[in-house]
Amino acid sequence: MDNQGRLVRVVSDDGLFRAMAVDSSSVVAEVCRRQQTDLTATVALGRLLTAGALLGCLLKGTQRLALMVEGNGPLGRLAVETDATGRLRGSVRNPRADLPPRDGRFDVSGAIGRAGFLHVTKDLGLKEPYRSMVQLQTSEIGDDLAYYLSTSEQVPSSVAVGVELAKDGSVAAAGGFIVQALPPGNVDAIAQLEVRLGELPPTTTMLRDGLSPAEIMSAIFAPRRFAVQAETSVEFFCPCTRMQIERVLIGLGRQELQSQLEEQEEIQVTCEYCKEVYPFTKSELEALIRSL
């Protein structure tokens, strides 16, 4: 599987809609491999990663976006971070839902939990980041994201995010799209597009059939024409470094570091996202304590 996915952002020629579509298969496969997710957790985290990629394409410069889903199900918290260049990372608190299928489908809503919240944080380079929170509607990710866009951002949106697994449990396809009505809105055009969206096969089916994100846009908008605003790549990337981990340890304070040193001569810190392990020897811990 290619290490990079593809994303396209378009605006219809009549100015009534903007949309974005992504093939996130490679990113989902890499993140879930690192997180050691079971099948249901792979689908859940993969959907949130796809949602992050789609929203991230609206960022500019050094802006960043974080999505977090916190439910009362066995997965606990799911988190995704992305930036304007299409770099993504994600994590799940408990990577093993251990839930049986429900009605022939992976029980994503049961794994996330019906009670909980979707948190959206945008670092737009302002004094304070933009934060918003909505209650989970179905815990299927796509519906919850559409609800957030329609209520918090006041943009009527159709959202589809999906992950299809192969028989061996690997990611066969992952991707999705967002279609948004632009102001002032056209009721007839929106109704026509809703009918069209209902006729389409799942995004993962279109990806498995070889359609690119741009061709998926063509399938959605036909016969309406559109202009491509951007075509970018999406990939897994974690910016963690040993220096960052050292700052985290220093932030624990002298007393906590001293306590850790008395309990064990070496500690290992594992990055929540990429699972890189950073070992610190006794002498290195002592040096950190002296720096305080």
> How does pLDDT run across 8-24, given as a tens digit for each residue?
999 999 999 999 999 99
Find the radius of gyration of the CA atoms of the chain: 21
> How does pLDDT run across 35-77, given as a tens digit for each residue?
999 999 999 999 999 999 999 999 999 999 999 999 999 999 9
pLDDT score, position 185: 81
Domains and CATH numbers, the chain: 5-236 (3.55.30.10), 242-291 (3.90.1280.10)
Contact in structure between 90 and 273 (CB atoms under 8 Å): yes
| Neighbour-count burial for 107-140, b at 16+ CB within 10 Å, e otherwise | bbbbbbbeebebbbebbeeeeeeeeeebebbebb
> How does pLDDT run across 92-139, given as a tens digit for each residue?
999 999 888 888 899 999 999 999 999 999 999 888 999 999 999 999
> How does pLDDT run across 142-180, given as a tens digit for each residue?
999 999 999 999 999 999 999 999 999 999 999 999 999
pLDDT score, position 25: 97
pTM of the model: 0.93
Task: Identify the CA nearest to 213 among candidates 173, 180, 155, 166.
Answer: 173
pLDDT score, position 1: 54
Burial label for 196, CB within 10 Å (0-12, 13-18, 19+), is middle
Q: For residue 154, give every residue at least 6 positions away whose Cβ sits within 8 Å of its Cβ, in sequence order, or none.
A: none
d(CA 210, CA 187): 33
